[in-house]
Amino acid sequence: MSTLVTPFTDKRMAEIVEKVQNGVRLSVEDGVYLYQTDDLLTLGQLANEANLRKNGKKVYFIENMSLYFTNVCEARCAFCNFRKDQGEEGSYTLSGAEMIDYVEQHIHPGVREFHIVGGHNNHVPFQYYVDSLRALNEKYPEVTLKAYTAAEIDFFTRISGLSIKEVLQELQKAGLKSLTGGGAEILSDEYRKKMRVDKANVDRYLEVHRTAHNLGMRTHTTMLYGSIESYEDRVNHMVQIRELQDETNGFMVFIPLSMQPKSKSASIMRRNSAYEDLKTIAISRLMLDNIQHVKAYFINIGPQLTQVALSFGASDVHGTIVREKISHAAGALTPEGLTRKELIWLVKGAGRIPVERDTFYNEIQVYE
């Protein structure tokens, strides 16, 4: 039975409500309309219904730690403030031993996952990236390695001469268990040209994940929104992810990432509104009917809006993270990480049930 309480007179919204409640897949036109409507409450309630059918009141998080082996990058994406040139002040490239030293200083009991991304550093060979994972895997065999974006995998094919499959197989031998979702940005080659996304194009991004899924890996995927893209660009992005999921069923979670300005002092007008963030999470939940989870990423939207997002279709709040760097280099004003206790408080404060998970959404502990 419907839990919708918002009265609406808009015929178009009524048609979408009927579609969702009857399990009929939404079209691109439906998704664009949902971005255009000002009926935020009906949209939120509809996404909440869709999420409750999939996940009940459970909201997932993981004890994880973000690691960055290098910030040296050949790409010069217009939105990135993390990258450095080789030799530039603040640039670094850590060895496996140096990263282990860093982890030893900052790791806390219960960490189950290393979330590893970094620059496209063409001053080191592909073997460096393999050895980096191997060093961590040998030191912390109990911690899952979720490493590299599809764009990084594509970059590895260019510096190694290997195919996507061969690159992934070499990394799997070193301990890789899952790919991160980054590098998607907006899946439009026109957007990527305008935003100087000097890395994997749309086809290559999707092909990396397709190949990973065919090798037995389950992966994550993202969308970076809030710059020059249109509503149609965003919805088309979701549809391309949905179509690949129909083919492989390899995505575990979709992560809408709210674009950050390049400076922490940037005005409120240079940031996405809370209204836009909630809409995007809700529309993601409704469009991506074949992906189990939609994540509210507190690093980009803040802990309090993350709580609200749990009533707008989100079923995951990411994890403890420990010193996030990429969004904060681009002007994020949020905490660099949260503790397990804080995440549990955040979820319970939204009237939901916190569930500690592993990388693959196996439940570790339910905090009733």
Q: Determine if residue 324 is labeled as part of a ligand binding site.
A: no
Is 73 known to sit in a ligand binding site?
Answer: yes
Could you tell me which of 100, 70, 74, 47 has the C-alpha nearest to residue 310? 47
Whether residue 77 is annotated as binding a ligand: the answer is yes
- Is 298 annotated for ligand binding? no
Check whether 83 is labelled as a binding-site residue. Answer: no
| Residue 134 assigned as binding residue | no
CA distance 94 to 133: 12
Annotated binding site for [4Fe-4S] cluster: 73, 77, 80
Annotated binding site: 73, 77, 79-80, 185, 196
Annotated binding site for S-adenosyl-L-methionine: 79, 185, 196
